[in-house]
């Protein structure tokens, strides 16, 4: 597992030029990025030792959580060691020499198509569903048709030799995706983020015991101990309506006295509790909190 050939590799899902690839470049620029076909393949690359880390998207500020990720994380055997926020800037990419007026169709992932409706409507461009964003850019490059463009990250245009006809064309200018950096071994050490911030985030999943008001009682410990819970999501387990697992993010480190008390109370009312990771809060969290408070 410590082969030096893999110690500087970070895996991501998608083709080169995907937004996950962009996240790798931004948050781990010194590492070689390894593209993988699926999220499962990305996780397995780390588990098998082909990669040291994995970069996985978990939620988008416009479209919510990424499907399947919360099911995969608890079973992955990996641990969250960092988080990062990537601003989703969308470009219209075409073969070199193409004019915007020549483009009649734009290919991309359905989610990205939905983020550029205004631009596409203004320029009478039809949306075409592609497998993913970077894969659509590759398809446009391979087909070489001036009438067909791709909606993707500027990085995809750089990689596949496409020309940027328009940039920043997303309808919402604050569209951001949150990524988690995963590793084989946990890191519970206290550490600072890129700007020296000391706030730590603890992520965990749990299932409540089958007793009346179990969830209410389980969460009460966070309120009484002054722990800020910044995310709580539920999802079914194994397709059974009666089996529900919860994913949560809280501010603080498990060794903080008030966090330790809250987790102890939570454990009493749960049938399972699994800490997925302890890591520094991305600087963007503080910026977003300040913006929200100013509104």
| Residue 6 bears catalytic tag | no
295: tokens are 């509104």
Cα dihedral across residues 4, 192, 61, 69: positive or negative? positive
In the chain, helix, strand, coil percent, each to 5? 30, 35, 35
155: tokens are 């990085």
Integer Cα distance of 283 and 168 in angstroms:
23
Residue 122's nearest CA partner among 109, 141, 103, 139 is 103
Task: For residue 193, give every residue at least 6 positions away whose Cβ sits within 8 Å of its Cβ, in sequence order, or none.
Answer: 199, 280, 281, 282, 283
213-219: long-range pairs with CB below 8 Å, 24+: 214/269, 214/270, 215/246, 217/269, 218/265, 218/266, 218/268, 218/269, 218/270, 219/266
Of 39, 179, 204, 246, which is the active-site residue?
179
Of 6, 133, 177, 202, which is the active-site residue?
177
| Residue 179 bears catalytic tag | yes
Residue 23's nearest CA partner among 86, 91, 110 is 86
284: tokens are 């963007």
Structural contact between residues 244 and 284, judged by C-beta atoms closer than 8 angstroms: no
Active-site residue list:
177, 179
């Amino acid at each position: 597992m410590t082969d030096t050939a893999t110690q500087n590799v970070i895996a991501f899902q998608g083709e080169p030029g995907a937004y996950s690839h962009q996240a790798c470049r931004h948050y781990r620029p010194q590492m070689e990025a390894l593209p993988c076909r699926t999220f499962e393949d990305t996780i397995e690359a780390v588990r098998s030792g082909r990669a040291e880390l994995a970069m996985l998207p978990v939620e988008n500020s416009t479209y919510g959580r990424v499907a399947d990720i919360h099911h995969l994380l608890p079973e992955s055997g990996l641990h969250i060691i960092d988080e990062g926020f990537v601003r989703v800037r969308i470009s219209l990419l075409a073969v070199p020499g193409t004019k915007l007026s020549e483009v009649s169709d734009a290919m991309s992932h359905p989610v990205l198509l939905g983020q550029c409706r205004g631009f596409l409507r203004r320029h009478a461009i039809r949306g075409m569903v592609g497998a993913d964003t970077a894969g659509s850019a590759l398809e446009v490059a391979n087909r070489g048709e001036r009438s067909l463009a791709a909606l993707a990250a500027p990085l995809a245009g750089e990689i596949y030799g496409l020309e940027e006809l328009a940039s920043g064309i997303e309808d919402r200018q604050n569209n951001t995706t949150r990524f988690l950096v995963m590793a084989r071994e946990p890191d519970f050490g206290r550490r600072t983020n890129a700007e020296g911030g000391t706030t730590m985030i603890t992520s965990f999943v749990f299932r409540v015991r089958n007793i009346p008001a179990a969830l209410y009682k389980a969460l009460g410990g966070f309120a009484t101990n002054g722990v800020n819970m910044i995310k709580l999501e539920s999802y079914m387990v194994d397709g059974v309506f009666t089996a529900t697992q919860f994913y949560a993010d809280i501010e603080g480190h498990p060794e903080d006295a008030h966090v330790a008390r809250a987790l102890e109370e939570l454990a009493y009312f749960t049938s399972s509790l699994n800490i997925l990771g302890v890591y520094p809060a991305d600087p963007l969290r503080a910026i977003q909190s300040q913006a929200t408070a100013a509104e």
